[in-house]
Structure 1
Amino acid sequence: MSFATFMGVPSRQEGSALTPRACVLGVPFDCGTHPFRVGSREGPDTIRRQSRLIRPYFSDPAGKPANPIAALGLVDAGNVNCFAGDVERSYPLIEQAMDEVIAGGMMPITMGGDGAVTLPQLRAVRKRYPDLAVLHIDAHTDTYDLAGFNTATTFTRASEEGLVDVRNSFHVGARGTTFMDGVLGFGRSLGYNIVSFAELDADPVACVNAIRERIGQRPVYLCFDMDIFDPSCAPGVCTPEWGGLNPKEGIALLRSLAGLNFVAFDVNTVSPAQDIGETTAFLAASVLFECCALAAQTPAR
């Protein structure tokens, strides 16, 4: 193989023993505009390296497939050939790669890359699912009142382009500081439902129940930013904020989402240059495995 695959699954070129229901795709792009944290373009390969630590069976499936990798017939399509810092060249390539995965009947499970990689992915998924809802778990809304294409405007542009059903979409986990005022209010003005980290932390069960009730059986795009975790356990992210989830809480949150009608997964913002012992990459690989379990529990569409 020309690349090491996620958890050693077959490459897409080799194929799987089963008809693949899902496909891992790396999106090695970052805008390169952060004052000193640049490097999430290296995230996918680092996550793959750390995924070797994950074994394919849950010791206690508790309603999940014991081996979600086998249940999905998971394959790895490698990385999109992005041009770091160049949105105009990279976005069409990301969208095309996603188009190919979806046209092949597979659910995309992607790893970034910074938060800017989500917009071209949404463009591709929206073509198949016009009633698409987004569940965005992140310390930041990425919905700022700014021009252009960057990590702060991903969901602003998604709203303007009509890519998501904003009134049935959620930003979950906003906390910490921002570089401009009124961010949560602006996101709500576009129609998004915003659940602050304080609300999530106070009663995660009630928050998830409210999300379930609102989203129902709409197709769901799960966007999971690794900075939802506290920097003590995920130091290698683009924009760390103290006071986040610990790994136990983050994995429990993901498992509580089982039964939603997921159609795509997007795990992003691992920045290996700032990662200590590739701890964040290992945690991201575990998050991706949990996404595989969620995908395996989602009825084939």
Structure 2
Amino acid sequence: MTALFTPPETFAGLPHGRPGAGCRAAVLGVPFDCGTHPFRVGARQGPEHVRRQSKLMRRFHVSLGDFDPLARLGAVDCGDVALVPGRVAPSFPAIEAAAGTILDAGAVPVAIGGDGSVSLPLMRAAARRHPGLVALHVDSHTDAYEYGEEDAYNAATQFSHAAAEGLVDTAHSWHVGIRGFTYCPGVLARAQGLGFRVVTTEDLFRRGFAQTVAEFRDDAAQRPVYLCWDMDVFDPSVAPGVCTPTWGGLSAREGIDLLRELSGLNIVAIDFNTVSPPQDVNDMAAHLCAHMVMEAMLLLCRQFGLAGEG
């Protein structure tokens, strides 16, 4: 019988639904932004556009095992969290609950934001289930800024809250890729004062990707890792549609290589954030984000011992 209705659009055609037996990873859309950026509001549309660009993704990588990582992980797409963009009070608990459902099923949530603020409720969910959680935050900004009562939650304070709430062990958590100009002085000192290790883009290229990640791997020492990947770590020439573009970032090739270096970590939750479709020329950032999600799926296959032949 001919189908009367089309299924919802999912990442790379994944089955839509909650994770069940045998599911090791689940895509979760988080269509939220605080709506406070001076002129780049729109990351709430990120999950929809990344899923749309994922139609261009092929499932078999010619040089990294020639297998379908989504199938090996038994991955599903849970759809989007039901929330109200811009309203923190009702949305953050909903995001945390949705991620918690995935974690409780034994799967790794692979979230697609949304602006960077969504990392906080996602970290809350991971921290409640994984004591000793550490963060690897790949970004051009620390997102560990000071905040006041009237504007406590935004896309520049999530790691300040993570430290204050004890969600992550800051002594073993790193910010990697920090660069560029800031609105105020003392940004690096502020993050370091909270206990975080900060690796600037200059440090990253001077030390090399392999050496930097090897040191983080030793520091993490098999603790559960929350991987937060802000798409503005890429240079605007390859990812123009992000909330806060900053020149001098990673090329697409460099970002892919950096993610591949993360083998050997105990990654328990991932988010890719800050794709802002209204500013995304030719959907470049969304397409690159879709590719990075696929790279993350390959990374999880290696982590779970699913990357062998056969």
TM range (shorter): over 0.9
Tell me the equivalent position of 1:76: 77
Tell me the equivalent position of 1:175: 179
Deviation at 1:249, TM superposition (A): 0.4
Measured in 1, the distance between the counterparts of 2:223 and 2:101 equals: 23
In structure 1, the gaps of 5 or more residues are none
Measured in 2, the distance between the counterparts of 1:205 and 1:55 equals: 27
Pair 65,297 (structure 1): closer, same or farther in 2 beyond 3 Å: farther
Tell me the equivalent position of 2:258: 253
Per-residue CA distance 1:123-176 (angstroms, 9 max, x = gap) = 100111011010000000000122301111100000000000100100001001
Tell me the equivalent position of 1:149: 153
Equivalent residues of 1:20, 1:74 under 8 A apart: yes
Look up the SS of the partner of 1:264 in the other structure. Answer: strand
Measured in 2, the distance between the counterparts of 1:124 and 1:27 equals: 14
Tell me the equivalent position of 1:230: 235
Tell me the equivalent position of 2:308: none
Per-residue CA distance 1:19-58 (angstroms, 9 max, x = gap) = 2111000000000000100000000010000001111111
Measured in 2, the distance between the counterparts of 1:34 and 1:196 equals: 24
Q: Identity of counterpart residues, as a percentage?
A: 48
Deviation at 1:269, TM superposition (A): 0.2
Give the 4+ runs in structure 1 shifted more than 3 A: none
Measured in 1, the distance between the counterparts of 2:272 and 2:70 equals: 17
Deviation at 1:201, TM superposition (A): 1.6
Tell me the equivalent position of 2:304: 299
Per-residue CA distance 1:230-249 (angstroms, 9 max, x = gap) = 00000000000000000000
Equivalent residues of 1:200, 1:207 under 8 A apart: yes
Q: Is 1:125 aligned to 2:130, yes or no? A: no
Deviation at 1:66, TM superposition (A): 2.5
Per-residue CA distance 1:162-215 (angstroms, 9 max, x = gap) = 000100100001001111110100100110011011011222222112111111
Equivalent residues of 1:261, 1:299 under 8 A apart: no
Measured in 2, the distance between the counterparts of 1:2 and 1:36 equals: 34
Equivalent residues of 1:65, 1:293 under 8 A apart: no
Counterpart residue type for residue 105 of structure 1: G
Tell me the equivalent position of 1:100: 101
Look up the SS of the partner of 1:176 in the other structure. Answer: coil
Tell me the equivalent position of 1:212: 217
TM-score after normalising by structure 2: 0.93
Aligned to 1:60, which of 60, 63, 77?
63
Equivalent residues of 2:40, 2:243 under 8 A apart: yes
Counterpart residue type for residue 284 of structure 2: T
Deviation at 1:65, TM superposition (A): 7.0
Tell me the equivalent position of 1:42: 45
Tell me the equivalent position of 2:289: 284
Q: Is 1:20 aligned to 2:35, yes or no? A: no
Measured in 2, the distance between the counterparts of 1:180 and 1:3 equals: 43
Deviation at 1:71, TM superposition (A): 1.1
Q: Is 1:8 aligned to 2:13, yes or no? A: yes
Measured in 1, the distance between the counterparts of 2:290 and 2:170 equals: 29
Measured in 1, the distance between the counterparts of 2:231 and 2:196 equals: 21
Equivalent residues of 1:136, 1:172 under 8 A apart: yes
Look up the SS of the partner of 1:297 in the other structure. Answer: helix
Equivalent residues of 2:144, 2:156 under 8 A apart: yes
Equivalent residues of 1:65, 1:71 under 8 A apart: no
Q: Is 1:139 aligned to 2:140, yes or no? A: yes
Counterpart residue type for residue 182 of structure 2: T
Measured in 2, the distance between the counterparts of 1:175 and 1:65 equals: 36
TM-score after normalising by structure 1: 0.96
Pair 190,65 (structure 1): closer, same or farther in 2 beyond 3 Å: farther
Tell me the equivalent position of 1:189: 193
Q: Is 1:159 aligned to 2:155, yes or no? A: no
Tell me the equivalent position of 1:115: 116
Measured in 1, the distance between the counterparts of 2:34 and 2:50 equals: 19
